[in-house]
C-alpha cells in the first residue's frame, strides 16, 4: 500500500515544483557557479581535468542538493501542512519516501543539465567505461538525499536549521562522498576498477534508506 501513497506525495511535489521552480532554479544557479569558478581557477586540460572533475562534480552536486534540501520541508512547514500529514492515517514513511524521490528527480535534472557543461568546460574525455557513471552518480546522489531529507526533517524545528543541516549531514555523508569521488575519478581516468566504490555506495544507500524509513515516524512526531 505504500507505493501509491509515495506516488501521491511525489506527484504533489513535482506539480508544486513545476509551478514554482524554487528548488531547481537555486540548485542550477549554485552548481553553475561552482562549475565556472573551478574551471577558471584550474584551467583544466587533459589528465588534470580527469583528476579534478570527480571531486568538483561531487562538490557541485553536494552543495546544490543542500540548497534544495533546505527548502525540502519548507512547503510542509508553511501553513502547518505537516500537521495535516500527522493527522492523516497515511504512513509517514510514504511521505518521506515521496520527498526523497522528488528531491532525487530534481537533482537528477540539474545533473543532466550540468553534464554537457562539464564536458565543455573541463575538456573531458573519459578513458574508463563511461556508462558506469549512470550507476555511480545516481547512487551517490541518493546517498546525499536520503540522509539530507532525513536530517532536514530532524532540524525543521530548529531556528538555525540551515546551518544545522550541513553540520549534521556532511560528516555522515563523508564515506559516500569519498566512494563517489573515487568511483567517478576511476571511471574518467580508467586507471582502476570503480566497481568496489560503486558497491560501497549501493551498500551505504541500502543501510541508510532502511534506517531513515524506520526512524522517520519518530522524527515527524517529535515535540
Partner 1 sequence: MTRSTIQDPGSGYTSHNVASIVQLDSVSKLYGTFVALRKITLEFEAGRTYVLLGENGAGKSTLLRVVAGLLRPTHGSIRVFDQPKPADARDRIGYMSHAPMLYDELSALENMHYFAGLYRERPCLLPHQALEAVSLDPALARPTGQYSQGMRQRASLARVLLPQPDLLLLDEPFSNMDAASARQMLALVQAQRAAGKTIILTTHQRELAEPIADYLLTLQAGAVASLVARQPEPRRPEAVRP
- Binding footprint of partner 1 on the chain (CB under 8 A): 4-5, 8, 12, 15-16, 19-20, 75, 78-81, 83-90, 221, 223
- Cβ-based nearer residue to partner 1, 89 or 171: 89
210 grid coordinates: 532502511
Cβ 18 to partner 1 shortest distance, Å: 9
- Cβ-based nearer residue to partner 1, 79 or 159: 79
Cβ 27 to partner 1 shortest distance, Å: 18
- Cβ-based nearer residue to partner 1, 26 or 119: 26
Cβ 86 to partner 1 shortest distance, Å: 6
Cβ 1 to partner 1 shortest distance, Å: 8
Could you list the beta-strand ranges (E) of 87-208: none
CA distances to 18, 117, 131, 181, 185 from 190, rounded to whole Å, are: 39, 21, 12, 14, 8
Closest CA to 136 of 192, 191, 177: 177
- Cβ-based nearer residue to partner 1, 98 or 128: 98
Beta carbons of 76 and 85 less than 8 angstroms apart? yes
Q: In which residue are the cell numbers 547512487 written?
A: 139
Beta carbons of 34 and 60 less than 8 angstroms apart? yes
Amino acid at each position: 500500500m505504500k507505493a501509491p501513497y509515495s506516488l501521491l506525495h511525489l506527484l504533489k511535489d513535482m506539480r508544486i515544483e513545476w509551478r514554482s521552480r524554487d528548488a531547481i532554479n537555486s540548485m542550477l544557479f549554485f552548481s553553475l557557479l561552482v562549475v565556472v569558478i573551478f574551471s577558471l581557477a584550474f584551467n583544466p586540460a587533459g589528465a588534470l581535468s580527469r583528476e579534478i572533475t570527480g571531486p568538483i562534480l561531487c562538490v557541485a552536486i553536494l552543495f546544490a542538493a543542500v540548497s534544495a534540501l533546505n527548502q525540502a520541508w519548507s512547503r510542509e512547514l508553511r501553513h502547518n501542512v505537516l500537521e495535516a500529514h500527522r493527522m492523516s492515517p497515511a504512513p509517514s514513511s510514504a511521505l518521506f519516501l515521496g520527498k526523497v524521490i522528488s528531491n532525487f528527480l530534481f537533482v537528477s535534472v540539474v545533473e543532466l543539465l550540468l553534464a554537457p557543461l562539464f564536458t565543455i568546460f573541463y575538456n573531458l574525455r573519459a578513458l574508463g567505461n563511461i556508462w558506469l557513471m549512470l550507476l555511480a552518480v545516481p547512487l551517490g546522489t541518493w546517498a546525499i538525499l536520503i540522509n539530507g531529507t532525513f536530517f532536514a526533517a530532524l532540524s525543521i524545528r530548529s531556528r538555525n536549521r540551515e546551518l544545522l543541516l550541513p553540520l549534521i549531514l556532511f560528516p555522515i555523508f563523508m564515506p559516500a562522498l569519498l566512494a563517489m569521488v573515487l568511483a567517478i575519478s576511476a571511471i574518467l581516468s580508467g586507471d582502476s576498477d570503480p566497481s568496489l566504490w560503486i558497491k560501497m555506495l549501493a551498500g551505504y544507500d541500502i543501510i541508510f534508506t532502511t534506517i531513515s524509513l524506520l526512524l522517520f515516524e519518530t522524527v515527524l512526531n517529535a515535540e
